Structure formats: structure tokens, C-alpha cells
Amino acid sequence: MPSSDGSAPRHLVSIDDLTNDEILKLFEVADRIRADRRQVSRLAQGSIVASLFYEPSTRTRLSFESAMQRLGGGVISAADMRASSAAKGESLADTVRVVGAYADVIVIRHPKEGAAKVAQRYAKVPVVNAGDGSHEHPTQTLCDLYSLRVEKGGIEGLDVVLCGDLKYSRTIHSFAFALARFGANLVCAPQPGFELPSYVVHRLRHEYRVEPHSVEVKDLETVAPQMDAMYFTPERPHQLSLFTDIREVNVKKFDALYVTRPQRERYTEAERSVAAPYFRVDRAALSGAKFRDTVVLHPLPRIDELSYDLDEDPRSIYFEQAARGVPVRMAVLGFLLGLFELGTAPPAPRSPIRLRTRGGIECGNSNCVTHAERQYLSPEYHLVSREPLLIRCAFCDHEQQVPLLGCSSTRHFHFASSAEVARIKPEHLVLFASEHQAQSAGYVAAGTRSSANRE
């Protein structure tokens, strides 16, 4: 809902849209709701949430709808977008512009990475990302963090193992960023071939000063009795969590094990044909002393990666984790609708260096929303680093290198490796995919005679 002072609505598209203080305040609201739901049972009367689900969902959609109804609000739901105008070829931008007039908040799940960011751009009401491809799933992360806080009393300093398909699990990406921000220690135990994507690793490294280091998932089983071999820890006391050499640290216990299913629907042909069995967590895998007090989390649904023999185990909290999704999402909806004041400052505006592209550099991520919505959406990038020259898609966050850069002031273009690139002012940077592209746009190679003539 646009706020009463006319300012832009708040959205929850990435976990970075909330500060740590805001997250903790939302958890306090969720605590109060759990203690007495009746206090808020009419709070959202007259407001409507629209759930737009372009991908299957049980928990996320139903818990959002339950949350809105428990706040006294209404729900309109397109649970299967194949039965909507999307099937006729309607663009995402048009759909959210229209649905934003029918509802006060939009909850969207979409197979394309960056889709929720597109929805945020075109809707005039708050947008909540309920999962965009394998990119992010921030409200699942709030449920996961909330469960850790309830079970362990806090998040900072916890030792958390992330296990399974770390490549395509969007829940893992948002969760890893949040754990890093709250100062938890992370152990990555990926299924071989399904390690954290490089853009997640880079972001952990550059934005949270976290140095990732992965261990093969099979080690979880075989190394379990001497689990020291899988630990990553903060390097300096006041630094955010940092993965370092696992052998350096002697961890006594693990606080949490977060298991994810193989995200087969996102696999390439080659990945689908890999025969390696997916790691399975069962009682035997958790028999070591270091797992004595480990809570087992899973965003669900599970396939075979989490044995049913753990369901009655007191360490298993995945069904509680799912149940807590309702009060957490009640807090989120109430906040975005302006019904709760958190009394905390919003995140400082991030001002990444936005780059202009001439001649269209395509995002290297084939599942990026820019490929699917190209009739109105142009690729946009932010500068990550100049050496090496690395750009990040403004929609899906994937990073890539660019071969050529131009300066809109001198109208020269330079190879990315050129020392001159560092001297171009950010507002003058222009990206090119090829020399031909640069020349067609009227740029000349730096140092050539024609460029010299222009100086």
C-alpha cells in the first residue's frame, strides 16, 4: 500500500530489503501474535492480498493466505497462472499493474530469476517475493531464522550446516546472506556439482566479508564423528561470519542442520543424467556427539533426502518451522500494509553504480527474467569490481565479465584489461559486448589515430 505520506511502498523482494533490526522487530510481532492471535484478528480488515503463483506451492501460498485471513483481510488468488492471462502471453509488468489495482499487496512466485524485482518496479503496491527461480525466497528465510531464534535463543554465533542442493535452492541463498549478516558460522555441505553459485559466493565475500569454502556432502556422513573437518568460522571477532580453512577450528557441536531437496525441476539435461545418489539425512547420519543438540530444518517439501525416521526425533523441527510461517507472514503482511510500526530505520538506500549498455549485453543467466520479458525490459547492470571488470545483473544478481568498456565523455572504448578503465568516471561507463558494437555506437578504440583526432 503506498504510505499515507505518498512515499514509495516497502517491498520484500530480497532479504536485503529488511535490516537486522527490522527482522528482529518482526520476530517480536510474530511472538505477540503467537501468544494471542485475537489481538490482530481485525487488523487488516478491508485490505486484500493477491497471490500470484506461476509455480507450484503448498506451504508458502497457503500460509500467506492463512496469514491474511487471520489478520481479518481478504485474499484473491491465482494459484495456477496457466489458467490466467499469462497463458495468453500477458507480460508480467501488465499483470502486476492490473492486479495491483485489485489488491493492497502482491505475493508472487515465479520461475524466472529477478521476476519479483520486475513486479516491484511495475506494481504500485508492496510486492513480496515468494520465490523467483533459484534466486531468493526471503520470507522462507524469515521463517527459518525465526525458528532458529525460538529454538536456540538467538542467531549470532550459531554453527549452521547447509546441506544438499545449494546451487538451485533459493531458500539457501537468502538464508546464507541472512546468517552471514547475523554473524552465524556456516558449514556448506553441497551435493557434488550443486555448490553455491558464484554470484552468491561473491556477494558473501564482497558484501559480508565472508570467505566461502565448501566440503563435499558425503563428508557429512563419513566425517561426522570427527566433524572438525567441516567448520568455517569468523576470522576476527568482530567480523561477520567467515568461512576459512576447516581444519583450523575444533567445533564441539552443530546447532542446526538445514537440509534441502534436489531442485530437479531446475536441472539441465546433463545435471538430470548425473547418477550420483543424493545425500540422505537419517538417524544414523546424526548419531555423532556433535549432532546431539542439532536442530534439523527443512523448508519442505522433502523427497528422499530426509528420512521419516527423524520425524519423531526431538531434534527435528521442520513441521514447527512450517507452522511458524503463519505468524511470521502475518507480521510481514501487517508491516508492509503499514499496520504495525516497527520503530526501526529502513535499510540505507543502496546506490550501486548503474551501468549503461549500448547494443545490449545479455545477462549470462539463461533463466533471468530479462530474457523472458524482453518486449519491455532491457538488461541493467551494476558494477561489482573494475579489476577484474565484473558486472551484476540488476534483476537476477548473476555476475559476468565484460570485454569492453566505453567512456561516454571521450567516446573511446577500452578493453576491460586496460589500465585506463580505472580512470573512467562511474557515470560515464558504457558496456559493449564487441568492438563492432562499440564502433556502431560511434565509439573509437582508445589510442587509435581517429580517437587521437577526437581528443
Give yes or no for a cis peptide into 190 (omega within 30° of 0): no
* Residue 129 sits in the site that holds ligand NCD (CB under 6 A): no
Nearest CB to ligand NCD, comparing residues 137 and 329: 137
* Residue 131 sits in the site that holds ligand NCD (CB under 6 A): yes
- Report, in Å, the least distance between residue 108 CB and ligand NCD: 13
Nearest CB to ligand NCD, comparing residues 12 and 355: 12
Binding mask 198-217 for ligand NCD (x = CB under 6 A): --------------------
The dihedral through the CA atoms of 445, 446, 450, 455 has a sign that is positive
* Residue 140 sits in the site that holds ligand NCD (CB under 6 A): yes
* Residue 299 sits in the site that holds ligand NCD (CB under 6 A): yes
* Residue 262 sits in the site that holds ligand NCD (CB under 6 A): no
Binding mask 15-54 for ligand NCD (x = CB under 6 A): ----------------------------------------
* Residue 147 sits in the site that holds ligand NCD (CB under 6 A): no
Among 47, 95, 120, 171, binds ligand NCD (CB under 6 A): 171
- Report, in Å, the least distance between residue 385 CB and ligand NCD: 30
Among 300, 384, 444, 446, binds ligand NCD (CB under 6 A): 300
* Residue 321 sits in the site that holds ligand NCD (CB under 6 A): no
Nearest CB to ligand NCD, comparing residues 73 and 133: 133
Among 110, 149, 173, 261, binds ligand NCD (CB under 6 A): 261
* Residue 10 sits in the site that holds ligand NCD (CB under 6 A): no
Nearest CB to ligand NCD, comparing residues 143 and 429: 143
Nearest CB to ligand NCD, comparing residues 131 and 334: 131
Euclidean distance between CA atoms 344 and 342, whole angstroms = 5
* Residue 170 sits in the site that holds ligand NCD (CB under 6 A): yes
Nearest CB to ligand NCD, comparing residues 9 and 327: 327
Nearest CB to ligand NCD, comparing residues 327 and 379: 327
Summarize as ranges the residues that interact with ligand NCD (CB under 6 A). 59-60, 131, 137, 140, 170-171, 260-261, 299-300
